[in-house]
Amino acid sequence: MELSSAIPVFRISSEKLAREYYVGGLGFSIDWQHRQNNYPAYLQVSRGAVVLHLTEHEGDAEPGATVLIPINFSEIDNLHAELKGRLPANKISLLASNQSHVLQIDDPFGNHIRFVSRASSDD
């Protein structure tokens, strides 16, 4: 049996704010949304191979989750430069050493995305 990639689920409290942050700030696209009547929103966003589910439904997830996303060592500085121009300074941080870089993004709901790279002879 072969398993496919996992899809993290982040709890959000405002669909409008999530759209602004994930689409406008992080450059994700909305792939689909599920909402019936006045029920809470559930949507999928993606950027490249990264797929996230965002939910307003209580019980689907708790705020404060963290997802780790591998990124090439040579690309993390470009991503940092791109995002720091669109995100509040207190929502983005870059921890860098000769061996690795960690770019952490904190969303408005208390969730965290960590882009992680390690130096290698291939980069």
Structure tokens at 117: 């790279």
Give the tens place of pLDDT for each residue, 35-76. 888 899 999 999 999 999 999 999 999 999 999 999 998 899
pLDDT value, residue 123: 47
Question: What Cα–Cα distance (Å) separates residue 119 from each residue in 12, 68, 82, 94, 122?
Answer: 34, 16, 21, 15, 8
Residue type, 112: H
Structural domains for the chain: 9-118 (3.10.180.10)
